[in-house]
Chain A
Amino acid sequence: MATAMELRTRAKRRKLIIQGALIVLSVIVVLGAIQSARVNLAALGITSGFGFLERGTGWDYSFSLIPKSINDPYSKTLFIGFLNMMFVGFISIILSTIFGFLFGTARDASNIALKTAASVYVQIFRNIPLILQLIFLYSVLIHFPGPRQAMSIADAVFLSNRGVMIPGLNVPPSVALGLLIASLLLVAVLILLKTPLMRGLLYWLGGTVFGCIAAALIFAPAGESIFSIPALAGLRFRGGITVPIELAAMIVSIVLYGSAYIAEVVRGGLNQVPRGLTEAGQALGLTPRYIWSRIKLPMALRSIIPPLVNQWIFIMKATTIGVAIGFSDLFMLVSTSITQSGQTLELIAILMLAFLLVNFAIAQFGNWLNARMKLKAH
């Protein structure tokens, strides 16, 4: 007994020493790399450090959710890039997940036509590189008519090669941002209160519409309509919301690609549900929809979530393709900042840190979701 204990302590100590040595070694390697970079940069006469973040950029870029100007410091420009990345990333993640579940379920369906259609969709969009799909889609979109020949639906929605123009609320951008945050908060509250799905959706929709109308009534400039409708003025549309063609191309292509992958994950999950469970449902006389929502999906979710989270992280990383079509995502703004300021190492470090943070957060959320979904008795 005593020797066994002793051996175990010794093994434990040995492991501690190895780990300690590894940590010391990695610290030395990292510090050495930083030191050698610093010496080399100094030798080349390159100014290093983060002082440039406070300097104005002096250049402009295509897309921002918040007001921007050419006098913004690099820090604000990079922050806008971060917001753009999060904006495209989260919209794409949500839409890809929804479409992925739809197509994945369709691939598992017994209806041959539905199954074939979903299979074709998945095979096409999964097997063509994302960047190729994006460039193809963008080349098609920029050949739409120009703003002065824009296609219009009821003179309220316009489609041109500058973007999609839709009517919006006649409120300042800050109020619009506030509404968006309030709407997201409502989702969080409804989830925390464990409201059933359908009723929750209804509450959320009602609450959001009510919030929008209330905000428009309060904040719309006096004497103007609460809706702002796009109208051609000179070279562009005034009023309404313009979704630039680059943003639309980014979201559509990422969603097509991401949802094809998620569809495969969902199909795999559904396949793993033992046939006996489905048959038991059928024996009880449950409808196929009921079998899907009460038996198959809850069972499948447990094997879907881990690979699904992987796909989410992948989609977040895919936002870097904006650089190919002139969409100002974080990667594009970092890349332009590198040429304009020359601070390559610092900017790449910022880029890596931003992605690490976001993807680590998504992974943590995935772990939490996985833990919650675990069968309690297992």
Chain B
Amino acid sequence: MLTKATVVSMAAAAIAMLPGAVLAESPTVKEIQERGTMLCSGHNGSYFGFVEVNDKNEWKGLDIDICRALTTAILGDPEKAQIVPLSWAQRFPALQSGDVDIIIKATGWTMGRDTELGLQFSLPYFFGGTQFMAHGELGITDATGLEGGTICVEAGTTIERISANYMSTIGVEHTIVSYESAAELRAAYLANRCDAFAGWGPNLAVLRATEIDNPDAHIILSDKLSSEPIAAAMRQGDEDFVDVVNWMLAALLIAEEEGVTKANVAEMAATPPNPRVARLLGVEPGMGERLGLRETWAREMIAAMGNFGEIYDRNLGKDSAYNLDRGLNNLWSHGGVLYAPILD
């Protein structure tokens, strides 16, 4: 028989075993801590550079690393992130039904998602626009050359809307074929089923750089259809969780601004060069308590994953196979549009 006393003492023991035993205010964070794992969104296959499976059957990519960073912030260990494979179409129902705690998967912030779908978004952490890639043999440089052509697109994405809208604006008659899976889409484009491939700029560049045998046979058209703010999506109604995610992203950016890296974080924490770094790394109190996390969460996170620049370079930039320029996705002080809120 379970008596009330045993239940209470068991619960107390369970709480005491949690790392740091800090009680989160957010119900989502509380649930994650009780479960001991963080459920993140994966992909049904590989979305190169962002959410991909490598040959050792491990998940990697920018979005996966950000999820691991969040897991470290909440649970203290990046390995506690559990990646749930989801198609584009499944991601929102999965979030709403609690199959994942958060969607960090190249997801654009739209009004419909923000209002009717009952989601709320974090600060944008990436900017990328819709573009077209076409077969080089067509000899075209922009979308007007696609008159009468066929464009392939992934079904259920914002790209589908943006390209339809753009093509009707410039009045180019065309046919659309939409596929549910990225693999089907890529195969169809490479087999010349379609003249052009509407996709997300960074993704097209990654595809062209690595997945296609002869990158020069394909051209990314000059039209820039949009610049989408990419943000993490959460269920509406848990403002404290949004705060945690926003400050997790902010900490990655502040670390990059201040030059705190995976390699020097311990040293920086021992002798902080300025009060901002001291607060960031939990040497001075404030960072943890106000979010209901451990004071040193940001230090542990940077020690495990590195700062935003390191995450970018590892997955998309100069240390990856794709070697994408940072462009807009650099700090404001380096010509990009990424900035962190003020850490006071």
Residues of chain A at the chain B interface (Cβ within 8 Å): 41, 43-47, 58-62, 70, 139, 142-143, 146, 161-162, 233-236, 238, 244-246, 323-326, 328, 332, 335-336, 338-342, 344
B117: chain A residues within 8 A (beta carbon): 46, 342
Q: Which of A44, A70, A161, A244 meets B235, CB within 8 Å?
A: A44
Query: Cβ of B165 and Cβ of A339 under 8 Å apart?
Result: no
Which B164-196 residues have a C-beta within 8 angstroms of A? 164-165, 168, 175-180, 184, 187-188, 191-193, 195
Query: Cβ of A162 and Cβ of B193 under 8 Å apart?
Result: yes
B92 within 8 A of A: yes
Indicate the size class of the contact surface on chain B: 35 or more
Segment at the A interface, from B18-26, B146-154, B321-329: B146-154
B46 within 8 A of A: no
| Nearest A-chain residue to B195, judged by Cβ | A235
Query: Cβ of B180 and Cβ of A59 under 8 Å apart?
Result: no
Query: Cβ of A44 and Cβ of B236 under 8 Å apart?
Result: yes
Given A46-B96, A59-B164, A235-B148: A339 and B88 interface contact (C-beta under 8 Å): yes
Residues of chain B at the chain A interface (Cβ within 8 Å): 88-89, 92-93, 96, 112-113, 115-118, 138, 146-150, 152, 155-157, 160-161, 164-165, 168, 175-180, 184, 187-188, 191-193, 195, 235-237
Q: Which of B148, B161, B191, B235 meets A234, CB within 8 Å?
A: B148
Q: How far is the CA of A324 from the CA of B44 in the complex (A)?
A: 14
B165: chain A residues within 8 A (beta carbon): 58, 70
Query: Cβ of B116 and Cβ of A46 under 8 Å apart?
Result: yes
Main secondary structure of the interface of B (DSSP, over half): mixed
A336: chain B residues within 8 A (beta carbon): 89, 155-156, 160, 178
| Nearest B-chain residue to A238, judged by Cβ | B148
A323: chain B residues within 8 A (beta carbon): 180
Query: Cβ of B118 and Cβ of A326 under 8 Å apart?
Result: no
Q: How far is the CA of A249 from the CA of B115 in the complex (A)?
A: 39
B72 to chain A, nearest CB (A): 28
B149: chain A residues within 8 A (beta carbon): 234-236
B113: chain A residues within 8 A (beta carbon): 342
Query: Cβ of A45 and Cβ of B118 under 8 Å apart?
Result: yes
Query: Cβ of A60 and Cβ of B184 under 8 Å apart?
Result: no
Query: Cβ of B118 and Cβ of A44 under 8 Å apart?
Result: yes
Q: Which of A142, A238, A332, A340 meets B161, CB within 8 Å?
A: A340
Given A44-B118, A326-B184, A335-B155: A235 and B147 interface contact (C-beta under 8 Å): yes
